[in-house]
Amino acid sequence: MPETARAAFLRLSADDREVLSLVAWEGLGNAELAQVLGCSRLAVRQGLHRARKRLAAELAADDPDLARYGPRAVRLAKETS
C-alpha cells in the first residue's frame, strides 16, 4: 500500500504535491496555507479539494479498494467519476 500511495502522489502535478505536502507534513491550516501561497482562503479550499480529488483518482487507478485509504478517499473518487 505505501508504494501505491507514493506512486499516485508522484503522478500529481507539482502544485498538487506542494499543497498536499504543506497540509499533511507541515500541518498548515487554510489560513496559513493561503499566506504561504499568496492567495485567498477560498482559493486554498478549492485547490486543496481538487488536489485531494486528483489524488483519490490516482489511487483508484492503482487500487480499486479505496476503503484502505479512508472514507474521504472513497467519496472523493466518486466525485471524479
pLDDT in tens, the chain (81 residues): 588 899 999 999 999 999 999 999 999 999 999 999 999 999 999 999 999 999 999 999 988 888 888 898 889 888 876
The pLDDT value recorded for residue 66 is 85
What is the chain's percent helix, strand, coil content, to nearest 5?
Answer: 80, 0, 20
Phi, psi torsion values for 9, nearest 5 degrees = -60, -45
The pLDDT value recorded for residue 1 is 58
Prediction pTM value: 0.88
The pLDDT value recorded for residue 55 is 95
Q: Which ranges of 12-40 does DSSP label H, i.e. alpha helix?
A: 14-24, 30-37
The answer to whether 49 touches 80, Cβ cutoff 8 Å, is: no
The pLDDT value recorded for residue 81 is 64
